[in-house]
Amino acid sequence: MKIRIATRKSALALWQAEHVAALLADLPEVESVELVPLSTRGDEILDRSLQKIGGKGLFIKELEVAMQAGEADIAVHSMKDVPAEMPDGFCLAAMLERANHADALVSPNGEQLTDLAQGALVGSSSLRRQAQLKMLRPDLRVEPLRGNVNTRLAKLDNGDYDAIILAAAGLERLEFSERISQLFLPEQMLPAAAQGVVGIECLESATELRAVLAKMNHDTSVQTTLAERAIARVLEASCQSPVASFATINDTQMTVTALVAMPDGSRSIRDSVSGPAENAVSLGESLAARLLESGAAEMLEAAGATNG
């Protein structure tokens, strides 16, 4: 079997695609693996926020078109960028072991959040991060920050921001661990659904390919991802909504925690549920239902960040 991987051209996307290619090459069914680097609208439009141009789905549309056209067999994604509802004809065939789930603060001289000056300027385009940052430090100013990891670090180094927030997994994968000033605990900043998980997408009809890809699944990461994505799906939240979720498994028991907040941090709802890990999807759905009962829909509507 020959497998062509559609991937974005950023350093992190290429790292993820090459990581998957190396794992695939070890499977006896796979003869060869080839990367098909593509440019996406999400990569090209950097002067506007993702909310205004259509959300993070813009990072994967071109990859799906390539698969439909027969130019690629699979696409590799950061799962936190994948919309909760998959388009018709596509499926998530595998989810790799989760890397670091945490958000990371990066500052010029290793300052922690408590060290930042009153009214300091922090760069982040995520409403989820913005809301939780404002809950921790209401005095901070948060401005949008677009571009790949290297571009964002360069903007910090250029003095455009006093600090920035990025996913720890991306920094670690690109060997920028030494740039991390502080890792946020889930109690401080809940991550995005499936943050740190690499997923593999393919056509639903590719049954033989799907059977091969399924061998790459990491069971615990699959279960936590299913629970966290179920919350976003029920809430009809996009990847850009101020919604956070995090699931952990201890033995056979799963605990799922989720948060919905106003982008300015003025209001938030946080709740948790626990149950058997095998019921991952229903646990996520029941937690989302509790959030809706507590007023999550009105909060998301006020934030203007639902898919509708």
Paired residues of 2 in beta bridges:
32
In angstroms, the CA 152 to CA 205 distance is 38
Outline where the chain has alpha helix (H).
Answer: 11-25, 41-44, 50-53, 61-68, 127-136, 149-157, 168-173, 207-213, 219-235, 280-293, 296-303
Sign of CA dihedral 187, 297, 241, 261: negative
Q: What are the tokens at 120? A: 């300091």
Q: Identify the active-site residue in 73, 81, 103, 162.
A: 81
**Phi and psi for 307 in degrees, rounded to 5?**
-60, -35
Distance of CA 298 to the CA centre of its chain: 24
Active site residue 73: no
Distance CA 269, CA 49 (A): 25
Kindly state the tokens that stand for 29: 């069914």
List strand residue ranges (DSSP E) for 135-279, in order: 141-143, 163-167, 182-183, 198-203, 243-250, 253-261, 268-276
For residue 191, give Cα distances in angstroms to 123, 130, 207, 225, 242: 17, 12, 33, 12, 11
Residues in the chain: 308
Residues belonging to the active site: 81
